């Protein structure tokens, strides 16, 4: 007989088979004692089985008795309800019992939820009571007076701001941006101060080198216009990639703010370049004027080559007064000032565009010949005349160049004079950003029509003064502006002055 080893079993879950295996363990009949032990085990097992059967029979009998009693009670209750129907108070008692049971269950649930909230509140209070770690990044940005320490401190301040580049772009939602945007937002900081955010995303046709150079010049104060309340008083070149700009910014009805800004260029890859700016809050060598408030700002400007010859520009700036109360007009004034500065930046960047090459002139001449062939009454225009016009008239170079196909539907709306002169030249002019319209140049006068059916007449007089006359089709009045030109001005500067004059009058 094979030997079997019994595994330990929980006595609470012992059934007949396990008990049989445990009690009737095999033994070797080597002696009479072992035979007696086997006999006793068998007798014990029989008694146990008989006892279990008796208990099972008693339980079944009691179950049947209880079921019969329950059935009798139900029949009695049904008979009583038939003989004596329950009144409204009985039904009310039953409903109240149900409501009481539900209320007790809801109280238990709310009590458990309150205990959880109390435990969470204790955990959060213990976290908030922890002491704040004061790191060098949260300390005031102060420049020392020692000459040997100023440059390292400047680099440390700018490097700390540069490490927040991607975090700032995540906050501004510029990481996965694809659409051109330029908007402002006012945010409240953890200290209760009001912070003004400027977010810009757009694609520029300039290559990476030109875009970075233009952005670096703008940060050094290359753009100074009388129409803007922004001035760079001095630019200190610390080294080849760090500058220290001091100046001021005047906001109407708000105040006269002092600016001390550090700028640094970074080139993490051949196709990426970043310009980081961070203002300082104190300067031991050149203390701030105590009578004027201080404007703190920090910005991140990222240039990325887009693979099409152009550059993708991402810009995020934060500005706020260092101390003092902020009036309600501060956000509005700063938004107007930032928008004006952004328009001036676009005009400045257009100056960096190269002049039209011979290939551009040739392509334009082919389009003009195709256009002139549709009007037999127009005289022939030679390529030499076109080149001469693009060379002599600085107001036309790099500005009035139409890059796409000729919109014949727009040309049909142009009112041509009945008697044409002996000399006629044609150009295609984008009179405003995003609006390209055909124009005709006849004896010093440019005729054209824009998308809103407004007729524009530009005349260049002998005294080098450009007069812009704009007449709407639904009105009989002329709105005129005179812009004094300078022979040294580039085409982009003149074009920007024209657009600014038209924008201020809200004509186009």
CATH of the domain at 265: 3.30.530.20
Is 100's pLDDT higher than 90?
Answer: yes
Do residue 338 and residue 481 come from a single domain? Answer: no
User: Is 446 within the bounds of a domain?
Assistant: yes
User: Is 312 within the bounds of a domain?
Assistant: yes
Do residue 380 and residue 262 come from a single domain? Answer: no
Do residue 313 and residue 385 come from a single domain? Answer: no
Task: Give mean pLDDT, residues 286-298.
Answer: 84
pTM of the model: 0.45
Query: Cα(182)–Cα(325) distance, rounded to whole angstroms?
Result: 27
Do residue 295 and residue 396 come from a single domain? Answer: no
User: Is 133 within the bounds of a domain?
Assistant: no
Count up the domains in the chain and report the number.
3
Query: Cα(21)–Cα(13) distance, rounded to whole angstroms?
Result: 14
Q: Residue 292: CB partners within 8 Å, gap ≥ 6?
A: 248, 255, 256, 257, 258
Query: Cα(350)–Cα(206) distance, rounded to whole angstroms?
Result: 9
Least confident of 34-38, 118-122, 175-179, 411-415: 411-415
What six digits make up the tokens of 426?
């044609």
Q: Are strands 282-283 and 142-143 parallel, antiparallel or unpaired?
A: parallel
Q: Domain of residue 366: give its range.
A: 358-505
Give the model's confidence band at 501: pLDDT under 50 very low, under 70 low, under 90 confident, else very high: low
pLDDT recorded at residue 54: 94
Do residue 456 and residue 343 come from a single domain? Answer: no
Query: Contact 261/277 with Cβ under 8 angstroms?
Result: yes
Percent of the chain with pLDDT over 90: 21
Of the three residues 43, 68, 93, the one that is the final residue of a domain is 68
pLDDT recorded at residue 413: 30
User: Is 395 within the bounds of a domain?
Assistant: yes
pLDDT recorded at residue 105: 95
pLDDT recorded at residue 363: 54
Give the model's confidence band at 397: pLDDT under 50 very low, under 70 low, under 90 confident, else very high: very low
Averaging pLDDT over each range in 278-292, 362-376, 438-452, which range is the top one?
278-292
Of the three residues 350, 383, 412, the one that is the final residue of a domain is 350
pLDDT recorded at residue 379: 36
The candidate with the shortest Cα–Cα distance to 37, out of 50, 48, 24, 21, is 24
Give the model's confidence band at 221: pLDDT under 50 very low, under 70 low, under 90 confident, else very high: low
Query: Cα(7)–Cα(14) distance, rounded to whole angstroms?
Result: 12
pLDDT recorded at residue 64: 94
What six digits make up the tokens of 25?
């363990």
- Comparing 187 with 346, which gets the higher pLDDT? 187
Is 295's pLDDT higher than 90?
Answer: no
Do residue 202 and residue 272 come from a single domain? Answer: yes
Of the three residues 350, 381, 414, the one that is the final residue of a domain is 350
What six digits make up the tokens of 37?
């032990």
Do residue 307 and residue 338 come from a single domain? Answer: yes
For the chain, helix, strand, coil in percent to 5 are: 40, 25, 35
Do residue 173 and residue 304 come from a single domain? Answer: yes
Averaging pLDDT over each range in 71-80, 225-234, 251-260, 326-335, which range is the top one?
71-80
Do residue 252 and residue 301 come from a single domain? Answer: yes
Do residue 331 and residue 367 come from a single domain? Answer: no
User: Is 419 within the bounds of a domain?
Assistant: yes
pLDDT recorded at residue 127: 77
Averaging pLDDT over each range in 5-19, 302-316, 372-386, which range is the top one?
302-316
pLDDT recorded at residue 473: 34
């Amino acid at each position: 007989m094979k030997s079997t080893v019994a595994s330990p079993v929980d006595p609470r879950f012992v059934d007949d088979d396990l008990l049989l295996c445990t009690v009737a363990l095999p033994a070797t009949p080597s002696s009479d004692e072992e035979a007696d032990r086997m006999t006793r085990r068998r007798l014990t097992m029989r008694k146990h089985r008989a006892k279990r059967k008796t208990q099972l029979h008693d339980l079944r009998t009691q179950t049947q008795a209880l079921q019969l009693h329950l059935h009798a009670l139900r029949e009695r209750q049904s008979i009583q309800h038939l003989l004596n129907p329950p009144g409204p108070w009985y039904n009310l008692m039953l409903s109240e019992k149900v409501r009481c049971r539900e209320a007790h269950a809801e109280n238990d649930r709310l009590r458990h939820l309150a205990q959880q909230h109390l435990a969470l509140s204790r955990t959060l209070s213990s976290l908030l009571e922890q002491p704040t770690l004061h790191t060098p990044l949260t300390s005031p940005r102060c420049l020392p007076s020692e000459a040997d320490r100023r440059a390292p401190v400047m680099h440390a301040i700018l490097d700390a701001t540069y490490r927040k580049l991607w975090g700032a772009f995540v906050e501004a939602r510029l990481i996965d941006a694809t659409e051109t945007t330029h908007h402002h937002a006012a945010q409240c900081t953890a200290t209760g101060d009001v912070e003004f955010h400027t977010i810009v995303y757009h694609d520029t046709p300039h290559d990476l080198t030109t875009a970075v150079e233009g952005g670096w010049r703008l940060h050094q104060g290359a753009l100074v216009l009388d129409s803007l309340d922004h001035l760079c008083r001095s630019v200190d070149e610390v080294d080849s990639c760090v500058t220290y700009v001091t100046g001021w910014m005047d906001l109407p009805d708000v105040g006269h703010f002092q600016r001390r800004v550090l700028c640094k260029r970074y080139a993490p890859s051949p196709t990426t370049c970043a310009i980081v700016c961070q203002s300082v809050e104190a300067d031991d060598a050149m203390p701030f004027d105590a009578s004027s408030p201080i404007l703190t700002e920090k910005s991140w400007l990222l240039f990325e080559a887009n693979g099409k010859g152009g550059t993708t520009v991402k810009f995020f700036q934060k500005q706020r007064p260092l101390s003092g109360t902020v009036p309600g007009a501060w956000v509005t004034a700063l938004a107007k000032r930032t928008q004006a500065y952004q328009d001036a930046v676009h005009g400045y960047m257009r100056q960096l565009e190269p002049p039209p090459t011979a290939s551009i002139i040739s392509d334009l001449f082919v389009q003009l010949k195709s256009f002139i062939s549709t009007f037999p009454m127009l005289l022939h225009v030679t390529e030499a005349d076109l080149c001469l016009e693009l060379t002599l008239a600085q107001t036309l170079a790099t500005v009035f160049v139409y890059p796409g196909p000729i919109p014949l539907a727009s040309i049909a709306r142009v009112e041509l004079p009945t008697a044409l002169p002996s000399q006629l030249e044609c150009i295609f002019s984008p009179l405003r950003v995003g609006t390209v319209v055909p124009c005709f140049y006849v004896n010093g006068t440019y005729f054209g029509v824009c998308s809103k059916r407004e007729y524009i007449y530009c005349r260049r007089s002998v005294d080098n003064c450009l007069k812009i006359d704009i007449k709407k089709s639904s009105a009989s009045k002329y709105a005129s502006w005179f812009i004094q030109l300078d022979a040294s001005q580039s085409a982009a500067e003149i074009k920007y002055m024209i657009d600014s004059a038209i924008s201020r009058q809200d004509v186009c």
